[in-house]
Amino acid sequence: MKPLQLLAIFIIPLGLIIAAVPQNKTKPYKLTADQLLGEANTRTQFITPETVADMIVKKDPSFQLIDVRNQDDFEKFSLPGAINIPVADLLSDKYTDILNQDAKMNIFYSNGTVTANEAWMVTRQLGYKNNFVLEGGLNYWFEAILNPQKPASTSPDEEFAKYDFRLSAGKALGGGDMPAQAATQTQSAETAKPAIMPAPKKKRAAGGC
């Protein structure tokens, strides 16, 4: 695929996301569109579900999960310890101290990646730095962490290591116990899958991690 085609594939969705963000009449944006595009293109805002699962299981105090869906969806199902800041409310002054700080890593999530990435873009334009996005959102979380698929017998050792970790983390986080209705409702929106980053190479684990 030509470079211009690749750029168009990225810029068109980016433009739609920026057009959908809450109207900002009170807070000056500190990043230009070019700067924001440059940062978004690096994809360094994304945190893998495996990393998030590990932090939840270990009760790591250095991060905060932020569900940017509406309150109804949040009350039906949310990740452990998450707080709810709907994307439409991101510019509210009452959330500034949460979103603009360096004490904790904020991790936005939604059903897929689009809305959470929208939240990241808004906060980055405001100059906030300590915000990230759960890669793949809840849709991918259910698939990768709560219901991992065992690799084929011919898969490399690192795939088995990743599976063992996901299986162990999923059990610790109630994998298989989530109500079917919640799973169905969450899977109904933002179904785009993330680009999966390769896991660090490990020797095949004997049993769970």
Task: Report all structural domains of the chain as residue ranges with CATH numbers, in order of start.
Answer: 3-137 (3.40.250.10), 140-187 (no CATH)
Q: How far apart are CA 153 and CA 148, in angstroms?
A: 15
Specify the pLDDT at position 38.
Answer: 87
Percent of the chain with pLDDT over 70: 71
Percent of the chain with pLDDT over 90: 45
b/e burial code for range 93-113 (CB count within 10 A of at least 16 → b)? eebeebbeeeeeebbbbbbbb
Positive or negative CA dihedral for 172, 44, 110, 104?
positive
Which token pair is 200?
Answer: 């660090």
DSSP-derived 3-state class of residue 195: coil
More confident residue, 200 or 5: 5
Specify the pLDDT at position 6.
Answer: 46
105 φ, ψ (degrees, to nearest 5): -85, 115
Q: What is the H or E stretch that residue 16 is in?
A: helix 3-20
Specify the pLDDT at position 203.
Answer: 44
